[in-house]
Structure 1
Amino acid sequence: MNQEVSHVLVFKTNIQTHQRAKSLRPLLNNHPTILDWSVDTEDVDKVLRVVAKQSLKEREVISLVVNQGFFCEELE
């Protein structure tokens, strides 16, 4: 089995609603290394959680989200 290990990346965003999060759907759903993702709009940090292959870097996700007009930074 040559399966790449997945990891979870967590980001603070300004994505206020599920409707706004839906605008990221085509971008994140079609990304070759993103396996799953969700936005918790109820959390104070509007947390974006990304399950991805190990090769995906935080800066790549930040770039994708920022290019869509949202704030995004890695949550420690």
Structure 2
Amino acid sequence: MPYVITSACKDEMAADCVEECPVDCIHEGPDQYYIDPDTCIDCGACEPVCPVEAIYQDEFVPEEEQEYIEKNRAFFE
């Protein structure tokens, strides 16, 4: 899973990342956005435009946000 959207997005949903994504891999969920790991090309375009700094490369997700890796994965199952 290349990128993960974490708790800062929850109920925020600014959508700047959606507009920036060149492959439309960011999808709206009931409480936040999610990145489709099968579609994401790992370009990183979404990360710097997130106004709440909720997007991390999977290996850099803070320890207190690790549950969002599984939450993201489960959204696409």
TM bin, normalised by shorter chain, reads 0.3 to 0.5
- Where is the strand percentage greater, Structure 1 or Structure 2? 1
- Where is the helix percentage greater, Structure 1 or Structure 2? 2
Q: TM-score, normalised by structure 1?
A: 0.43
